[in-house]
Structure 1
Amino acid sequence: MRTSVLLFLTFSWLASLSFAENEGLSDALEGTPPILGCWFWHESEFEPEGYRPYLDLIAEKSPFDILTTSLRVKDRELVDPETRSQVKEAVEYARSLGVGIALDLDVRLARGGFREKFPDEQQWMIRLRDVQLDELGRGEISIESAYLSDHYTHRTTPYIPLSGRVERIFLFERGPGGVLPGTVHEIDRKDCEVVAEGTDEVSIRVDLGKNYAGKTLCLAAGFEHFTPAVFAPHLLEYQEGLLELYGDLPLAGACKDEWGFPPDFKGCPDKNDYWYSTYRAEAYREEMDGRDLIRDFLLMTYGEEGKEAERVKAINHFMRMSYRRNGEIETQFYRATKKVFGQDALVATHPTWYPFPGVQEFKKNGLDWWIAKRDLAQTDESTPYSVRTSLAKKWGSRIWCNMYYSEDPEDYVREMWRGALSGGRINYHPPWPTTQTGSLMAGQKAVLGSDRMRGEVRVRLLDFISDTPLDCPVAVIFGHAAAMNWSHANYAETGVALADGFWRSGRPADLIPSSEIWNGSLRMGEDGRLRYGPQSYDVAVLINPEFEPAETIPFLEGFSSERTTIFLLGDRTMDFEGHPTERLSQSWPKDRIVGSKEEALEEGLKRLREMGVASQSPATEVLKDFGYESAAPSRHGMARLIDGTHLFIHGEKSASGDRVASVFQVDGHEFQADFEGVLGVRFDNEGQVVALAAGGLKSFRSNNLTLALDKRLDFALKRNQRGEIEGIYYNESEAPPKEMEDLGGRWTWKQFPRTLATRPIKP
């Protein structure tokens, strides 16, 4: 049967254009996000040309544009000449295959070099432990050091303790409300027996007499660890120096992964371990009008009767310092990467470590995810979808990208199609652990099965027709200060459950910390609606605003009569400094105060219905990992992007996409389509198709465009700002299909599995 292409006069702008030969990437392709894969170097990569097998596999079987590449090898650092030489060879070989390398240039991969240059700038931990003295005033405390490790160190030297010392010794009396007022005294070490003071243990013994019976002895022991101090004065200089060391290599970008203090997988539930350095203590002293940080650790841990407000203030400032300093380090890395490798360089990977905005992240980085600057929003593992979409708005990223791994290669299919329905993509980490696949190489080869990569390529066609992320009509704003302050009843409440409720109801919600108000990112738009990057919100819920800085409240109160309906859940009775304030609820519109998450969800959905906000497909599945649960999209349904592009995703049965032939409705416009897995379409105000992407398209019919193809085709087209067609198609041969010639315009040919565009690489 002859292929037919019928273009009505209302679509005449298509017919007026002529077909152009493929002359390289069109302007539209230049901004298309890359497809990312991971590469982890082990001993085999350091063999002569040991990098070739993995790169050959990627070039032959994958559509990956860039490999985020990191060392996972014993006794090698980035500063070693042998490392740099081997990386240089690998980068040049990868470039010859059309694959870019974004190299992990984090200082944690050069800790030995940092210590050699700046031996006095290692990270310290202060550990507080106590004992009640016996009837004779005797007591002993022994504190062991912590051996800490993470993904950067599990094949090399961990963040081992290097030394230990007695920092301070306190004596006090305890009551039901904490330390009794006026009872804290310090004991000089000469009045104690220091039993041990070394790398593994710090111990003391006291014999103070009967007058001290029943009192509490507290030892603050300090342990130095093998990693740069976060507040080290030379850290930023060293970080930029690593980038410059590799600056003459043709890298596609640089990576900094899960930055922050060394990990605490439980988040220190007893709140008696603190990351410390003399530099941090000095910064704290300056911010807190001369207060002593180690003395305030005692206040933060135990509380002191009559000093509740001081405790609130101390915790707030201590945690905000973590947030700001880690954000500063991330931002400097971003800017230095652009400076060294050019503005087109990719800054990867994700700031998320423990993939949930909870207690583990508070201690590691102050929950700095929203100020860890990136061009492409990046997360990992089971990070809640409300966070993924929120970060896409923050960084103006058309998609979010989640570094994903699983033991089972089949799980990647589920992650891919879930992401397609929620505006996201995968950074492909090889299967881990390797119990099923045997090795990282074999695991990645299994993931790169043709059906999976066909599905990936089809999903990526959507990136060509839209540069906006998922439309989320709801913002859930959680009080950042209160969430991280363990003196408050709502400690660790970050609003994920409420955001999940909206997702499950077909109204996706962005999760945003109130600190985004502090820094001006969450603001009022010109249309009177709450705005975050490209996203305007119809409904917002402010959760737990206790301890909010003064500048937050007038901003939110200013929305009381505006176009975004903001509900209040919780209250504010104290400011950031611990001062009592008038209750925020006293000035909030009474009909916008809710008493529970359930009521907030009910009232928010009611308001959306009143405003006529259309629903999207509900999130019917569950993310469950690392001890947390959150809502997840299914593998089929409909979603809407901010620019009005509608996505129809079907990936339940086939990795490459399920075959669908049906009639659809978009904003009152009816069309028929026969496709596989993916279809994205956008209409203008007159109901004309201005963008179309489809996997395995066989036919499409709307009121102004009809396509009937002899052979199924993966392709996408859109009209650019000059009114010209930009298009891309996958075909066995470069010769354009007849239907593409009939459409006219400028087309780019791709041969599966190669993808839309290799990132610009520094020559």
Structure 2
Amino acid sequence: MKIKYVKEIGNSNHPEILYWFWTPDMIKNKTYIQELEQICKTMPFDLLFLTSRDGLSFFDYDDVVVPFKETVERAHELGVKIGLQLWRNAEAVGMDDALALIVEGEALLDDDGMLEYEAHTRGHRNQESLKSELFSVVLFEKVGAGFYAEDSLMDITQQCQVLYSDEERIKIKIDEGVKYARYTAYILTAHYHRSPDLFSQFSINSFNDAINRYAEIPFDGIGLDEFKSMPITPPFQAMWKPFRERLYGKAFAERFYDKTGMDLKQAIFEMRYVPENHKGMRIKAINYYFDVLKEGPIMVENFVYEYAKKVYGKDIFIGLHNTYHNKLTNDEIWETGCMWWDLPREYGQTDENMSYPVRMGIACSHPKPIVYDMYYTEGRPYPIYEKAMIDARYNNRIHYHAYNDRRENRFNMKNEQFSKTITKIEQKIRLLNGFNGPLPKLDLLVVFGRPALANWYPHNEYRNAYDINGGLFILEKCQALWDAGVMCGLVPSDKIEKGQLRINSEKQIEYNGHVFDSILFLNPEYAKQSTLDFLEDCTHTDSTVMIDGKANYDFEGKSCSRQFSRIAQKAELIEFSVDKVLSKGIKTNPIKQGCMLEDGSVVMTDLTSILTNKPLTFKIKINHHVYEGRYIGVMAIKVDEKGNIVKFVCGGFKELHRDRQVIISVSKNTDIMINAFDKEANIILKGEENHVSIELLKLSFD
């Protein structure tokens, strides 16, 4: 037995992360070292991410390279790591790499076959306009909503006269003669903005240059925060300005053709109009468009991950999150592709109180057993205290945002009382970092059909303000399950295509190494063939397979009703409700204020005990034995099949009982950490040896 006494139990295994805003004033007044030393003196964090604010750009290398060098050097002397967060650098984007918004309109030619038409850019969020141009004009006889008479279609783009164009608007004239009187003209205009086409090399070259410029500074982390394509109409505007535009870029068009064999301009048209009785063409065009669009942000993220590892070494921390507005049904699908699960990271990372089922699915997608949620609080500090402790019981951690946030209604962590309380909380969470358990045991994997999310057609009632399917309520259904006590994780269906979600050799449903007894598939409509095959294979396992929704057409717009009928005969086809899911034997979490981990460990957390310094009682049954005690803040325990203690951590610990017998006790309440392997115990106690001691220790039993 080895006992170590410490003033405070230090952090291990997983970093404690803090955002640190850098402003022009900090550079001008050279206060960055002073602020760094203050952070290290008053706060518990060991990884600080530098992020620019108030007009400071980390791409202005000459302004920041010396301060960066000095800061990293001093931080390392203080035992703290420094990460560099880079925003996208759009100021230098030129026309060759610019992204366009395609604005649509339609009008009838007059009795003389003529029309004057004016369009202007719309749908973007404060993006500088560069150029407006005519994209496409077709004529046809309209025979219904979204349909034209097949032999009537004509492309007249080259015959149109541009009367006027500037950065934001364009006016054209059509004169096709009386023969085409009352024909429908479907007009697409392209409005380019100073925002990069992520399929071009611009963003990659920009980040490549930045990493090279800073290569001599030994940064410990590189991060892209909310990296995305062109920001479009945000949620608070969409209610009265529905987004009906589409993104287009030259490199995007090249990638689209390479992957699909289809011209992007043609696909954009077929997303709206197809020949009469050819509904499948429109389904296919919409599916293809979003399937390729989502690749752009991840392509850049993958480059930054790989190149940063090459320059700084394999152990560098790569962050941050790409959850932007945290919904599947808003602007985020256009900007990040809702590719939250695909970020190249060791740790899953999210933003602003993302729901637990999403975070659990993202955690399963990455190798480390912790997921970080970047979070700030407005007004009162209590919500961040509460969140930190609830998150911790599910192996979630906060990336605190931020040390020096001076914006209105943001809580500035320079506040002394706030920093003291956060320190108390993090000192307890460090015990769980030392315990280093795996992810929580999830009883249910929820998979949503990504194509169904992006494609509302032909159900116009589900077409939402962002031109995607707003009638699926994926996040709401998962949250309802979680609130009912179902430990579940959410992932998208494209994890099947990538081979990460599969049936393993033991005929179990396995996602990225995590095994699930039950699966709930939401909205299989427009599924790819690999997804349909997977669902059919699931029905030949012993797993509980539930499906909410039907599949009439596949990803290619072809009927898949025969295969889905076979699936439905063996799966549980349900119309979602929590009660229906629970009726299939899905378990709920039995541990109040805690949960069980994949290896059978139990974790419990509590905030009130930290704030009051009054221990809370716990009583749990593991492997036919009952363990009891009291804790402040956190408690985690792992035992083997005989009931022997393998690992144990506890805040404010005094005694641990096994089947009513005391097996561990100390002379005075303190924080404790025990690792017992091969009949040897390594014990860390908070306190001095003459103030606190082990009074009884029995870890092994016959």
The alignment status of 1:192 with 2:198, answered yes or no, reads no
Which blocks of at least 5 consecutive residues in structure 1 are unaligned? 1-16, 150-157, 618-635, 746-763
Letter in 1 for 2:693: E
Check whether the contact 2:451–2:525 (CA below 8 A) recurs between aligned residues: yes
TM-score by length of 1: 0.82
1-side partners of 2:181 and 2:130: how far apart?
A: 35
Change (3 A) 1:218 1:458: same
Change (3 A) 1:326 1:193: closer
The alignment status of 1:739 with 2:687, answered yes or no, reads no
Q: More deviation in 483-492 or 637-646?
A: 483-492
Structure 2 counterpart SS, 1:608: coil
Residue in structure 1 matched with residue 327 of structure 2 by the alignment: 356
Matches within 5 A, 1:193-208: 193-195=162-164, 197-206=165-174
Change (3 A) 1:571 1:660: same
Of 580, 590, 614, the match for 2:569: 590
Check whether the contact 2:142–2:149 (CA below 8 A) recurs between aligned residues: no
Residue in structure 2 matched with residue 218 of structure 1 by the alignment: 186
Residue in structure 2 matched with residue 320 of structure 1 by the alignment: 291
The CA RMSD measured in Å over matched residues stands at: 3.2
Letter in 1 for 2:501: L
Shift of 1:458: 0.8
Shift of 1:709: 3.2
Change (3 A) 1:218 1:443: farther
Letter in 1 for 2:438: T
Q: Deviations over 1:54-92 (max 9, x none)?
A: 323321221111122221242634253222232222222
Q: Deviations over 1:89-138 (max 9, x none)?
A: 222222222221111135x1x334x54xx762222222223334455655
Residue in structure 1 matched with residue 424 of structure 2 by the alignment: 454
Letter in 2 for 1:328: M
Change (3 A) 1:20 1:660: closer
Matches within 5 A, 1:217-366: 217-266=185-234, 272-289=244-261, 291-366=262-337
Check whether the contact 1:252–1:345 (CA below 8 A) recurs between aligned residues: yes
Of 632, 636, 642, the match for 1:680: 636
The alignment status of 1:660 with 2:616, answered yes or no, reads yes
Shift of 1:306: 2.9
Letter in 1 for 2:102: I
1-side partners of 2:180 and 2:334: how far apart?
A: 35
The alignment status of 1:142 with 2:118, answered yes or no, reads yes
Of 407, 414, 431, the match for 1:434: 407
The alignment status of 1:170 with 2:173, answered yes or no, reads no
Check whether the contact 2:655–2:665 (CA below 8 A) recurs between aligned residues: yes
Structure 1 counterpart SS, 2:323: coil
Residue in structure 1 matched with residue 361 of structure 2 by the alignment: 390
The alignment status of 1:641 with 2:611, answered yes or no, reads no
Of 27, 32, 49, the match for 1:68: 49
2-side partners of 1:235 and 1:520: how far apart?
A: 29
Shift of 1:592: 2.8
Residue in structure 1 matched with residue 454 of structure 2 by the alignment: 484
Of 79, 83, 93, the match for 1:98: 79
Q: More deviation in 403-412 or 124-133?
A: 124-133
Check whether the contact 1:461–1:694 (CA below 8 A) recurs between aligned residues: yes
Task: Tell me which of the two structures has the higher relative contact order, counting C-alpha pairs closer than 8 angstroms and 6 or more residues apart.
Answer: 1
Residue in structure 2 matched with residue 524 of structure 1 by the alignment: 503
Structure 2 counterpart SS, 1:37: strand
Structure 2 counterpart SS, 1:597: coil
Which blocks of at least 5 consecutive residues in structure 2 are unaligned? 463-468
2-side partners of 1:577 and 1:666: how far apart?
A: 50
2-side partners of 1:374 and 1:429: how far apart?
A: 20
Residue in structure 1 matched with residue 388 of structure 2 by the alignment: 416
Change (3 A) 1:658 1:424: farther
2-side partners of 1:25 and 1:647: how far apart?
A: 18
Shift of 1:714: 2.1
Change (3 A) 1:416 1:20: closer
Q: More deviation in 722-731 or 425-434?
A: 722-731
Q: More deviation in 442-451 or 258-267?
A: 442-451
1-side partners of 2:234 and 2:588: how far apart?
A: 41
Residue in structure 1 matched with residue 374 of structure 2 by the alignment: 403
2-side partners of 1:526 and 1:223: how far apart?
A: 52
Residue in structure 1 matched with residue 18 of structure 2 by the alignment: 37
TM-score by length of 2: 0.89
The alignment status of 1:52 with 2:33, answered yes or no, reads yes
Change (3 A) 1:123 1:447: farther
Residue in structure 2 matched with residue 616 of structure 1 by the alignment: 590
Letter in 1 for 2:74: Y
